[in-house]
Every structure is written in structure tokens, then in C-alpha cells.
Amino acid sequence: MGRGKKYDGYKAFQYLKAGFDYKEYKLCSEFNRVPPYFVPLSKTEEEHFENIIEKNLVIDLHEHPVLWPDDMSLAMEFNSMGRGFLAYEALSVSGIDCIFDNLMNGTTYITSYNGWKWSDIIHDIGIRLSDIHHQKMVFPCHNVDDIIEAHKAGKIALVLCLESSTPIENELDRIDVLYGLGVRSMGICYSESNMLGGGMSETDKTTGLSDFGYDAVKRMNKLGMLIDVGHTNDKTALDTIEASDKPIYNSHSGPSSFAKGHVMSDEAIIAMAEKDGLIGIGGAGRGLTTKKNPLGCIESYMEIIEYCINLVGIDHVGCGPDTLYGNHQGLYKYWFSRRLGHYNRSSRLSQQGRETQLSEKNDPGYVKGLENPNEFINIARWMIKNGYSDNDVSKIIGLNALNLLKKVW
């Protein structure tokens, strides 16, 4: 049904009384926080675009589709409440049929200063599901049939994801618990290393998958949980690819040989593709940048899409822009400045792996054309504008992701 979602006017947590049941914050607008940008199309191209969105599944592999405070200096305080406000109205016109909601567990500071605590994760998932169960447009996605049904019925299938396995500590059965609660994708680790393997922001990049990490990979394979290496170092990613009996993916990254920002090696991208995996191109904060496009924007994003198509073939490329509804750069500013206890290790690059490239003087403060989940459709618009076939467009915006899920779920 394309963008004809059956939205009933529900707003997040409207079954509660703001200011009484929870502390009220002024949240950013669901629409036009910054000047929206959509790739311009001719009348014929516009009709073609609407037809493609209507007929094809649109699967967004990595987002945080929630509203943040208008004043991002309050972001960490706000997140300590453990209550994420899904942007239902905005999502209803996004054109997205299935969205991978990666929650905000790295900043869920309900009982912790550093996030990723087991009880907080369960709280976060439960609160999200409680809100979802009070409306009918968005529903928890548990299998491939749910995605197909969402497209047919004018609904949105929401996949619960964790960017890191850190909360399971050294308990394999916790993976089963998460699966039982609806989690269908989980990362090995976040930028920091954990019991499973090495993170991308660590000084030592040689740390691979631990024995416990190997066991966790096998358990996720048995459960049918998709494995994400979006924040691991390359050694851990390569070890995970080798260990997994099923294809894996990187939900939101780019090729380090070609792009700057949140990246992984071409070697790892190729290894994933050789085992039927997929690279989801990301673009959080300032986005992925290139020599040709030093500012993150839809043009730099699509330049990287094309690079990866040439690198591993179009069947192994998808999209996980990693956006949200709010000032993403502002979130990084206040999130990273809040972290304490990290000494300046001489061999460590400041905030390495945290998508915090130095600002260009012309940086508008957001990624033009991929500022929030509603601009995901610019990927299809750009491909139409640049002469891609309908089949190629369908693969990039959803079919490749669906084929991956069929093999894993």
C-alpha cells in the first residue's frame, strides 16, 4: 500500500497523562525540524516513483524512529526516563513498510551511567511494546510474513533490535529471553569491547571473537536471530562471519577505503557478501563522506551505495541510514561530553569510531536528504533520477533485506 498507512491519530503514550504519569519534555516536531529535502523529479518520474513505492517492500535496516527533546542539552536526562516516543504520524507517511528499531540502549541510563544494563534493556523493550500495543498501525515484527502483511494491510512492521550483546553479560540463555520478547537482530558489541568481541573504538583493533562470542553466534543461529557487526572491529567482524552458520549483516556502515565516518574494511564487506550477507549503508550524525562529497548528504550516501554495488554486487547492498527525529549532531555533542572516566591513552584517537568527524565549515548541522526516516525514500528517488531499473531500485530499498531475512529468520 506504499504510503497509504492506516494511521488513527495516535500519539506516543497518549494513554497516560503527561506531567502526571511521566515528566513532560518539549519534543521536536515530527515534520520540518529542518528544511526537508527530496530529490527533485519530473512529473513522469514522480509517478514512476509512487508506483515503485506502492508495489515494492520498503525495508529500513537501521533507525531510531523516536522523537527527541527540542533542546538536546536535555537528551541524556530525557533518556534516563526510559520512555521512547515513537513518531507514529511521521512514520505513517514515510513509505516504510518495515523499520528496524535499534532502540537507544547505549544511552538508556535508567540505573546506569553507561547504559547497556540488562534490567534497563528489558524495561526499554517493555515500555516500547506497551506503547505499540495501544495503537494498530505499527506492530512488532517476528517473521518475514509480518513484513509482507504490513505492506498489504497499510501497516508498519517494527523489528526490535539491539546494537550490542553487552546486556547478556556471560549468559547465553538471555539471548533466548530477548528473542522471546521479540528481538530479531542483535549486534556482537557496540564501539566498546565486551564479553563477545572487540569494538571499533578500542585502541587495540586485533581483538577477535571470544569463545563466549563464538557460542553466542551459534545460539543466535539456532534461534534465527540476525547478527549485526555494525560496531565491531574488523577482526571480530571477520571472525563472526566465519563462525556463523547463517548470513550476517552490518546494518549501518560504509567502506573504509572509500568513505569517512562509521566504516568497516572492504575485506569484511566482501567476506559478508561471499556468505550471502549484506552491507546496510549508514549515515548518522554528519553522515558518510567522500572525497567528492566532503559533506554528508544524499549524494555522498548514494556515491557509497554505488561503490558497494561495484564491490560486492547489487544483491548484497541495503540501506540503514541510522537517523532519528531530532538533532542527531546535538545528541552526539551531549552524549559524548557526558562520558567520564576515559583517560587519554596515547595511542587512542579521540572518539574513534563514533561518527564524530571534524565539522566542515559549510556543514548545515544535518545530513541533507537523509535527516530523518521520512527521507529514506530519497534513495529510490535518486536511483530513478539516475536511470536505475525498477528491479535494481526494489533490491536496494527492500528486496535484498527481505532475501537476507528469509535465510536467517
**What pLDDT, on the 0 to 100 scale, is given for residue 351?**
46
DSSP per residue, 245-290:
SS--EEEEE-BTTT-BSS-B-HHHHHHHHHTT-EEEE---TT--B-
**What pLDDT, on the 0 to 100 scale, is given for residue 353?**
41
**What pLDDT, on the 0 to 100 scale, is given for residue 347?**
67
All structural domains of the chain with their residue ranges: 43-338+351-408
Task: Round to whole Å and give the CA distance between 334 and 64.
Answer: 17
**What pLDDT, on the 0 to 100 scale, is given for residue 208?**
97
User: Hey, what's the cell of 259?
Assistant: 568513505
Q: How far is CA 188 from the centre of its chain?
A: 15
Task: Round to whole Å and give the CA distance between 322 and 261.
Answer: 13
User: Which residues are paired to 185 by β-bridges?
Assistant: 161, 226
Architecture of domain 43-338+351-408: Alpha-Beta Barrel (3.20)
The CA-CA-CA angle for residues 83, 89, 90, to 5°, reads 95
Query: What pTM does this model have?
Result: 0.95
pLDDT digits (tens), the chain, 409 positions? 577 899 999 999 999 999 999 999 999 999 999 999 999 999 999 999 999 999 999 999 999 999 999 999 999 899 899 999 999 999 999 999 999 999 988 888 889 888 899 999 999 999 999 999 999 999 999 999 999 999 999 999 999 999 999 999 999 999 999 999 999 999 999 989 999 999 998 989 999 999 999 999 999 999 999 999 999 999 999 999 999 999 999 999 999 999 999 999 999 999 999 999 999 999 888 899 999 999 999 999 999 999 999 999 999 999 999 999 999 988 888 887 776 777 777 766 544 444 444 456 788 889 999 999 999 999 999 999 999 999 999 999 999 999 999 999 9
Task: Round to whole Å and give the CA distance between 111 and 115.
Answer: 8
DSSP per residue, 132-160:
HTT-SSEEE--SHHHHHHHHHHT-EEEEE
Task: Round to whole Å and give the CA distance between 97 and 394.
Answer: 13
